[in-house]
Structure formats: structure tokens, C-alpha cells
Amino acid sequence: MRYDAAMTDDEWMAIAIAEADAAARHADVPVGCVIVDENGTELARGHNRREVDQDPTAHAELVAMRAAAVVRGHWRLDRTTLYVTLEPCAMCAGALVNARVPTVVYGASDPKAGAVDTLFRLGDDERLNHRFQARGGIQAEACAERLRSFFQALRADGQK
């Protein structure tokens, strides 16, 4: 999908938030993602699908990266920006390194599993063969509120 190349981080994050809402509709943790190339063209989007697919690797970032690689016809996702509503975990941050994604923009920090800024800094670890820039806090409250509401409802239902 083609968008105005001048779209802001907030506008792209709004698309990722819509994907997070899609995850919640099928009882997955509400995390959404969108990947954009250097021309402002959306390559792919995704949301958590662990529950619906019964796949522990079906995080929003991996779903979107797999789809973007198909669109590109190659596993390298250089010259892209990945927008995600929650700071990537170690698995996803490792995939970002391996896919050569240069820029990651995330909403809410993840104090339990964040591997971009909070617990680990995989994106700028000089021991790895690729590094990425990260910017956090974009629409952080809107992203965090979805997560709070989701887990609050699970606890109220006795599930967590």
C-alpha cells in the first residue's frame, strides 16, 4: 500500500495500533506492527498470532517481517523502518538484526522482556554483524493502555 512519504511516526504507529487491536479480537496479546520502505511504501503489517496459530514465534514483528520478505522477494529488509507497539523481545530483536532492518520505532517499553532498550540493547551491540537505530515512546500511552486492558480482562476472567 502506498502512503504519503511524509507520514509521521505517529501516523505509522496508528496503523500498528490498529493491528494490535486485531490481535486482541482473537485473544492474542495486542501487539501490532507495520514495515515501511524508504519511499514511504508500506511493505507489510502484522499482529500477534501466537494463540490463533498456536505458534510461539508468531509475534507481530516476525509476522510482518515474513510478509515483507515475500513482498521484497528477499530476506534482507534493509532500507526499511519497522513500527511496533511494544518494544521487541530478544527473539524479535535478533530477527531484526538478521533481517538487516535499519530502524525500529516502538510504542511502549517492555520492562519484562524488552531487548532494544530496557533489558538488553541488541540493536546496538557491536559484537553483532548488524545494528539498528531505535526510537521508543511513540504513542506509548495508547500502546500501553491496550496491553493493560487486555491483561486486566484476563485476570478478571481468572486466566492470568
Residues noted as catalytic: 61
Q: Which amino acid is at 13?
A: M
Q: What are the φ/ψ torsions at residue 28 (nearest 5 degrees)? A: -100, 155
Q: Which residue's C-alpha cell is 521484497?
A: 72
Q: Which residue's C-alpha cell is 478478571?
A: 156
Q: Cα(84)–Cα(61) distance, rounded to whole angstroms?
A: 7
3-state secondary structure of 47: strand
Q: What are the φ/ψ torsions at residue 104 (nearest 5 degrees)? A: -125, 130
